[in-house]
Structure 1
Amino acid sequence: MKTILTIIFIIFLGFTAQAQNGTADVKVETIEMTIVTETSYEMNLETKTEVARLYKFKNSNIKKELNFLTKANKPKMA
């Protein structure tokens, strides 16, 4: 009996869901855009002087950072 009532209830909900009035379709205004096929490139030929730092040893900062010590690396007394 319970299953029959459940099936009838589901069918009733299905019919009521389909009987609802749908909202009116909203029209959207579209904008037409043109496609640009030609592109212009501008080259800037101004010379800029930039300063580059020179180090005596090539990888000195990198090697110093990679050789760090942690508390786990230190020997412990037994």
Structure 2
Amino acid sequence: MKAIVTLLFILFIGFAAQAQENTAEVKVETTKKEIVTETSKENSVARLYRFKNSRIKKELSFKTKRSTAKLA
């Protein structure tokens, strides 16, 4: 019984979807625009490190005022 009701429901939804009115296609005017490519040359200095991940280790080894030991 459940299978029959499910099948009828799916068929009903399919027929309802096909019965929708088709809307007229709207023509869109296209315009041409020229693309201007600008080339710029940048020279930047890359820093070379002797050891792998030295930049990451430097960033992670930061110290704050509270991380230093205080004398009693």
TM-score range, shorter chain: 0.3 to 0.5
TM-score with structure 1 length normalisation?
0.45
User: Which of structures 1 and 2 has the larger relative contact order (alpha carbons within 8 angstroms, sep 6+)?
Assistant: 2
